[in-house]
Structure 1
Amino acid sequence: MKRFLVAPLVVALAAVTLAVLPGSPAAAALIDARVGALTFRPDAPGTGARRLASASVRQDLYLDRVSGTFVLDAEPVAGTTSYLRVTFGHLDAGRSCQGDLELRTDTTSPSNGFTRSGRTLRLVATERRFGYQDWDCAFAVLDLDTNGDASDGSVRSVLIGELTDVPARPVLAVTGVQLLDARALRLVRGVWTTIEVTVANRGRADAARVVLRGSGRGVQVRPTPVGVVRDDDDTTVQVRVRLTGKRATTLRLTASGGGATASRSVRVARAKAPARPRPGTYRSADGDTTFSVSGGKIRGFRVRTTTRCGGYPDIPTTTYNTYSFRTVGVPRNGIVVAKEKGRLYTARLQLRIAGGKVTQGRFSYAGPAACFAVERFTASRRR
């Protein structure tokens, strides 16, 4: 791409305040975009549809996209058409903008990523290289021809500006709300119930000190620390919720932290309290899961299941192991959501029990050497 050659423009651009400021950091921070309002206007003879009233551009690095908005003084018609040339480039040592990428269209019938509504033209163009170019300036030109020679007197209007960085920021989203793997929230009134909420970060910067809060008529939520949610990752936390009203309601969950906020609304229905768990010994149909119920608590939980350890580049190993879980109480809603955390491992137990049956259960283990185990089960009272 050739340099924009209008000599008076280069001189005038150098005269405006585009000097490098002292004290700039040595290392550039991660950025999502570069934006610029093109406000410096050299002298040019254009009027009406051949004069730029305003122009702004944007380079989205993460999306491999450039865009811009260009407003003319008047709507172009057949007799007042011209060519809009939008150029991204670099400032040289003399503070003139050296063009690198040029996108162009005629103003009456736009093409090549340009559209028009009245006197406003918009640009949206996507290409892989747009995501890694380090442009720091841009200019928009209305020209009577497309030969690229600005010395022939065909230029009618010019706007020039510097691009500034938009630092990368976290983009939070509440992507999942579950109760025992079910998306529908059916709560027993007056009982604190543990649900699982997944918070994702779709941005390119970490979100620190994220906290999950909730609100809604007839429902209470305990604020829950989520911690750091890394860029392009997600975290699942357990949140305590209690239905206080007599009717169905809407629960609004909000995650905030690191300068980002995201919300999600879920419907909450009222459920009847199940039959209290019957004391006795319980076992799964295959005999791999056993425990007892007494005093409203699950005791002596044992499960035999497959454990997988390791992974790429090593060959994973598979063993059959028996795990235990601490004594845990059964709340009035019959839903157990519990965690046991040791120095090197974390185990979780979730189940739903009513009377003498466990209709839904899940045990999981994560430990050293990338070992993990998951067992889903149902169980019935044997004696």
Structure 2
Amino acid sequence: MDTESANQSDIRVNTDPTKSVMSESHLHTKSLCDHVINVATGCRHGCEFCYVPTTPAIDNRDEMLADQADVDDPQADWGSYLLYRDDLPERLGRILEDRDPSDRKHTDRGRGIVMLSSGTDCYQDRRTAQITRGVVTELVTHDIPARILTRSPAVVRDIDLFQEAGDCITVGSSIPSFEAPLVSAIEPNAPPPMKRWEALDRLQQAGVPVFVSLSPTYPTMDEDDFHELLSYFRALGETIVFHEPINPRGANFQQCLEAATDAGYDDVAAELQRMRDDRQYWAEYALEQLNTVQQVAKRFNGLQVHSWPDNELIRSTSGQLRSKLTAMQQAVSAESFATTEPDTPPKQPVLAESGETVQQLM
């Protein structure tokens, strides 16, 4: 482990002294996982909407970040620092050998799944990829289902490992839009969206189960945009798509607004501004997008969209609509893992039937 701070292409890199290995997660509420493993602290991609700098994993570690990477403001500096956890595979292996498997968290929606990574990209460079391969090897050896989420096409380097894992692993990428300049403005250092799709295509052709994170979707996207996206996702096979509309809260949302403005996307910036100023307008937008994506998905047999409505959105509704949103939120994704199957019916209700508008329900 190299413990000396250094600069690499304007990124301050060092090692993370944190001793935690595998943390329990609330992402079971989104039917994603019960545990998370982050192979590093920080991220090169610098996505403007990223919520991670506001979480305890970053927000409560100001002193460590200042010492290890000269970080003044974890949110404002997001994308400019990266602290690696090189010995993570070895520490994980020891824990898995010593701990009783029945002691691990296992909820109906999380199904004991371990996710890499919720707080960084586990394939963003060669060093994180090496750590990730070691971690995945340990998980597979101990028959623990794993979900890998990355924006990096470098994930294909581990196709051999994923093939050996069989149905114990699913690999996904975040693709909110194919409008590359807009995505580049909001996710400044991440690979282009089509490159991410091409990586998933290579994986599924190699027999690796894949999924897509359609999140967060932008306010100017319409039915045609979603049709194009979902047609590409269906080409990946019988794929699960996790969808969530953008939510205007926190300093990261202000950064999204400024990034859209700087990139000349005045229409996107105007919509983001209106949503931030008027929560009812945001609620109507979120409902409309959730419904549109669900309706468009019906055109593609074998494609399942797992939508996740925010708690605040549910609280803003009542009656039948609130009941449907609650059922949608509590559903289990239809994915099958070698060691676990959904315990509850996975199908989500649609918000509105064909020809029925969200406004009519409201």
TM-score in same-fold range (> 0.5): no
Higher relative contact order, structure no. (Cα contacts within 8 Å, ≥ 6 residues apart) = 2
Asked which structure has the greater CA Rg, the reply is 1
Higher helix share: 2
Q: Taking structure 1 as the reference length, what is the TM-score of the superposition? A: 0.18
TM-score by length of structure 2 reads: 0.19
